[in-house]
Amino acid sequence: MKVVAYSIKPFEKEFLAKANQKKHDITLISNPLGPDTAIFAQGKDAVVVFTNDDVSAPVVEKLADLGIKYIATRSAGTDHIDKDAAGKRGIKLANVPAYSPQAIAEHTAALALSLSRHIVKADQHSHHFDFKLDELIGFNFFGKTVGLIGLGHIGHATAAIFKGLGCKVIAYDVVTPADTQGIEMVSLEELLKTADVISLHAPLTPQTRHLINKDTIALMKPGVMLLNTSRGALVDTAAAVDALEQGRIGYLGLDVYENEKGLFFEDHERDTNHDPLLARLMAHPNVIVTPHQAFLTNEALQQIADQTIKNLDQWQNNKCVGNACVCAKNCRVVPVNIETTVN
Ligand code: NAD
């Protein structure tokens, strides 16, 4: 299959080469997909994209006009793709539904522990030979209530870590998962009112967009810790900044930001203007922002590359894969079975 893969970072190349074994003819380019770069798909069967690529309806139309039949995203989330537009033009979609959920769960825990123990500030002070203990008092997670919004693959992996720390884990999901051992399922309202730590693990959908807003923040315990490693737009960032300034949110750990497209994954240090909302947010000492890196482990990167190539293999054999297409119900879908355990 002839393929162009967009937004490829140098570190991804070896993982993709190992997965591909020269089966598919893949052109790797660093440019993101967008209206101006869609032309690179000319003569190809498939495009491979990532979360911050522009796969909106106009771009999907351009790809379809260029003869693209398949779009594979190297991510679990598919919110960056206009699925209806793809469905209308008969373009098949595939994602990587469950790669190493532990990678994202462990990053969530890293944000939580770094915030609670002021690790960033302590390290900065230590590097200046300032070993005072002032302003470094933390809190124990043991005995705290952790509320997970979304109890899928990553929610479960996150629950396991916080249970290990001796937390009470509660969760809210629109679907009750088969396995909720040691996790109490509660309503969204109860979770917001009772959790000391709230961690978001739901996909971005019209229902979850700005799920965390002025009204839902008002229900939270004063001084709550809020963690988001899912998608930026689950949080109304302006409302979160207001809540930080009022002390309603005590700690904020973000791996994703609602306006991250065109910003994250690149060095913008020398830009004359910095995103004012993000700058205001990061001015708070009790905020940690990481650049959508929760997936960035060797294990996860190899699983992403392996599954992406498997998706291309299935299409090459005229089979559908996963359930990312809007037309999935009409397809002969091959269930995706990938090893999600990290050794
Ligand atoms: P998953 O599909 O296994 O689980 C998502 C869960 O959210 C499901 O149980 C679903 O029922 C639930 N859900 C859906 N709508 C909801 C709602 N309105 N309220 C509450 N729960 C709802 O997905 P996953 O693998 O656990 O991934 C979760 C999200 O994490 C992905 O959608 C993606 O956006 C994000 N993610 C981020 C990174 C990163 O690097 N930061 C990496 C991978 C995934």
Q: Is the pLDDT of residue 195 over 50?
A: yes
Residue nearest to atom 11 of ligand 1 (CA): 175
Q: What is the pLDDT of residue 330?
A: 56
Q: What is the pLDDT of residue 341?
A: 29
135-168: pLDDT as tens digits = 999 999 999 999 999 999 999 999 999 999 999 9
| pLDDT band, very low/low/confident/very high, at 292 (cuts 50, 70, 90) | very high
> How many whole angstroms separate alpha carbon 158 and alpha carbon 146?
10
Residue nearest to atom 4 of ligand 1 (CA): 152
Amino acid at 282: M
Which of 171-180, 215-224, 257-266 reaches the highest mean pLDDT? Answer: 215-224
Q: Among the atoms of ligand 1, which is closest to the Cα of residue 75?
A: 43
Question: Whole-angstrom distance between the N-terminal and C-terminal Cα of the chain?
Answer: 32
Whether residue 137 has its Cβ less than 6 Å from ligand 1: no
The alpha carbon of 328 and the centre of ligand 1 are apart by a number of angstroms equal to 19
Q: Is the pLDDT of residue 318 over 90?
A: no
b/e map 177-187, b = 16+ CB within 10 Å: eeeeeebeebe
Whether residue 239 has its Cβ less than 6 Å from ligand 1: no
Task: Average the pLDDT over 178-196 and give the result.
Answer: 96
Q: Ligand 1, residues 50, 161, 191, 201: which to mutate, most atoms within 8 A of Cβ?
A: 201
Q: Is the pLDDT of residue 196 over 50?
A: yes
Catalytic status, residue 209: no
Whether residue 278 has its Cβ less than 6 Å from ligand 1: no
Alpha-carbon dihedral angle through residues 208, 289, 201, 162, given to the nearest 10 degrees? -140
Q: Is the pLDDT of residue 230 over 80?
A: yes
Q: Is the pLDDT of residue 23 over 50?
A: yes
Q: What is the pLDDT of residue 4?
A: 98
Task: Average the pLDDT over 22-33 and give the result.
Answer: 97
Catalytic status, residue 292: yes
Q: Among the atoms of ligand 1, which is closest to the Cα of residue 255?
A: 41
Q: Is the pLDDT of residue 7 over 80?
A: yes
| pLDDT band, very low/low/confident/very high, at 324 (cuts 50, 70, 90) | confident
Q: Is the pLDDT of residue 328 over 90?
A: no
Q: Is the pLDDT of residue 342 over 50?
A: no
Residue nearest to atom 30 of ligand 1 (CA): 230
Percent of the chain exceeding pLDDT 90 equals 89
Q: SS3 of 134, please?
A: coil
Where in the chain are all domains bearing CATH 3.40.50.720? 2-99+298-316, 101-289
For 101-289, the fitting CATH number among 3.20.20.150, 3.40.50.2300, 3.40.50.720, 3.40.50.300 is 3.40.50.720
Task: Average the pLDDT over 273-287 and give the result.
Answer: 96
Angle between helices 101-116 and 153-164 (to 10 degrees): 40
Task: Average the pLDDT over 194-208 and give the result.
Answer: 97
- The secondary structure of 59-125, three-state, reads HHHHHHHCCCCEEEECCCCCCCECHHHHHHCCCEEECCCCCCHHHHHHHHHHHHHHHHCCHHHHHHH
Do 60 and 89 meet the contact criterion of CB atoms below 8 Å apart?
Answer: yes
Q: Is the pLDDT of residue 336 over 90?
A: no
> How many whole angstroms separate alpha carbon 80 and alpha carbon 61?
15
> How many whole angstroms separate alpha carbon 41 and alpha carbon 79?
21
Catalytic status, residue 231: yes
Average pLDDT, the chain: 93
The alpha carbon of 230 and the centre of ligand 1 are apart by a number of angstroms equal to 6
> Which of 118, 156, 231, 248 is flagged as catalytic?
231
Q: What is the pLDDT of residue 339?
A: 35
Q: Which CATH class is domain 2-99+298-316?
A: alpha beta
Sign of the torsion formed by the C-alpha atoms of 303, 151, 77 and 212: negative
- Taking the complete model, does pTM exceed 0.85, yes or no? yes
Task: Average the pLDDT over 114-137 and give the result.
Answer: 97
Q: Is the pLDDT of residue 222 over 50?
A: yes
Whether residue 232 has its Cβ less than 6 Å from ligand 1: no
Give 252 or 334, the one with higher predicted confidence: 252
